[in-house]
Amino acid sequence: METTSFPSATFAEFYRFALLLTGNVKEAEHVMADTLAEVESQLAQFRNETSRRARLATRIRERCLKNNASPPPAAPRLLRDDSETTGSPEILKIEAFLLAQRFHALPEPERTALALFYLDLFSITELAQLLKMSEEALSETLGAARELLKQSLSAEVSSPPAV
Amino acid sequence: MNAHTAESLLRCHRAEKPPDSRMQKALRWAEGDPAARQRLKDQMDFDKQVLEAIHFIKPPENLRQRLNALGARPRAEQPGLRKQIINPAVLSALAGVAVIVGIIAFFVVDHIEKFPGRESVERMIPAAGKMTGLEFDAVSTTTDQLGDWLYMHGYEGYEVPKEISSLPVIYSRVFRLDGKAIAQFAMERHDSLVYEFHASDFGVELPQDGDWRLLAQDDWAAAIRQHGDHCFMILLRGGKSDMKDFLQSLPKK
């Protein structure tokens, strides 16, 4: 299987996208592997990179939605001390994993919209087209997604540490 | 720019991106509205934190190799073709399809082999097995010279098939079936009998000058074709494959 359709940096963003949607590393890897096995040969048919990106993002999303029947595994505790701005890689790693968990728990299309917005794989116009909504609706969706994510992460920080 | 449009645009603001003219207007509007400015600041702070966390997600160094391996390995949740075939439901469906295909094939073959008047032709075949040879008259002529002899014995309008023209004939006779005359002769070279009759006498309808149509009955194989109202039938002992070999040995029509 070839995986040379994208530069490494873009490829990494798609991996992050899969992780944010699935909420766990193993599932993200499987989603990426299965999706690439399915669409890698089709990607060459698209003349511009945006179309290739859109194709891959759409298929990753579809596959994640299909696999999302089971609930996500329990999230680990948020360990970072808010006063510490330059946390150790270990602590940040757990935060990233927690973030993926919280993203995974968001409803659709908020989850996909916010993930792709942060990953900056598409312009706002392209993102609206990809999600088949107007730019204004996308704006509303992003606003709602931010609020849900903020609430979810705040609840995690304020809850007592697990023993 | 009104507040609604500006707020709508600001929710899509990416701090790390240079703003276009519309976004610049929205940002200017937010600067002049303390509540909007605070909301934008909170949004940008939150986005920054999330982006930091997201970009801490590093794909494994060997991600591509891992994906290659995963893609090449059959997944448990994606049963392979073999597993799917072993599934009783799939097996039942395949068996059903096989039966339907078999029935269709049977009807197609049956349809191809059937033709009007076939029953009459089939009645001629068993008689060959009961013949002793005494029924025939010995002759010494060729197939293309046999017309007069047959006419004298009650068969009118003889015509020789091109494939067997000018071949030596050693026995011949004219007999009647249901009152209709049938010419029959044996050729020296081949251990075969040739029948000729009028198609309309027996209700036979075959494609004009079509290929030989093969029939098999008991130990006999027959090949029949029609030219005008003339039906030619070659009969030999054996199966259809023997007849095919025999026909291939004949000159082309």
In terms of residues, how long is chain B? 253
State how beta strands B230-237 and B137-142 pair.
unpaired
Q: pLDDT, tens digit, for every residue of A2-58? A: 445 677 778 888 889 998 998 888 888 888 888 888 887 777 777 778 888 888 899
At A87, is the pLDDT very low, low, confident or very high (cuts 50, 70, 90)? very low
The secondary structure of chain B in percent helix, strand, coil, rounded to multiples of 5, reads: 50, 20, 30
Give backbone dihedrals phi and psi of B196, rounded to 5 degrees, phi first: -140, 135
At A74, is the pLDDT very low, low, confident or very high (cuts 50, 70, 90)? very low
Angstrom distances, CA of residue A83 to CA of A79, A86, B144, B160: 12, 9, 116, 112
Q: Contact, B33 vs B3, CB < 8 A?
A: yes
Q: Residue B184 above 90 pLDDT?
A: yes
> Residue B54: its chain A contacts at CB < 8 A?
16, 20, 96, 99, 118-119
d(CA A145, CA A109): 9
d(CA B133, CA A7): 91
Q: Is B210 left (phi over 0), alpha (psi -120 to 50) or beta?
A: beta
The whole-angstrom distance between residue A83's C-alpha and the CA centroid of its chain comes to: 27
Domain ranges of chain B: 3-56, 77-111, 116-249
B interface with A, Cβ–Cβ below 8 Å: 8-9, 11-12, 14, 16-17, 43, 46-47, 50-60, 63-64, 66-68, 70-72, 75, 78
- Residue B156, helix vs strand vs coil: coil
Averaged over B235-253, what is the pLDDT?
83
In terms of residues, how long is chain A? 163
What is residue A39's predicted lDDT score, i.e. its pLDDT? 80
Query: Is cis: bond before A160, omega within 30 of 0?
Result: no
d(CA B183, CA B153): 9
Q: pLDDT, tens digit, for every residue of B115-142? A: 888 888 888 888 887 777 778 888 888 8
Query: Do residue A118 and residue B43 have CB atoms under 8 angstroms apart?
Result: no
Complete edge-to-edge strand list for the sheet that includes strand B230-237: B137-142, B168-177, B180-187, B192-198, B230-237, B220-227, B213-217
Q: Respond yes or no on whether ipTM tops 0.85.
A: no
Total-model pTM? 0.51
A8-158 folds as Butyryl-CoA Dehydrogenase, subunit A; domain 3 (1.20.140)
At B183, is the pLDDT very low, low, confident or very high (cuts 50, 70, 90)? very high
What is residue B84's predicted lDDT score, i.e. its pLDDT? 62
Contacts (Cβ under 8 Å, ≥6 apart) of A38: A59
Q: Contact, B44 vs B13, CB < 8 A?
A: yes
Domain ranges of chain A: 8-158
What is residue A49's predicted lDDT score, i.e. its pLDDT? 81
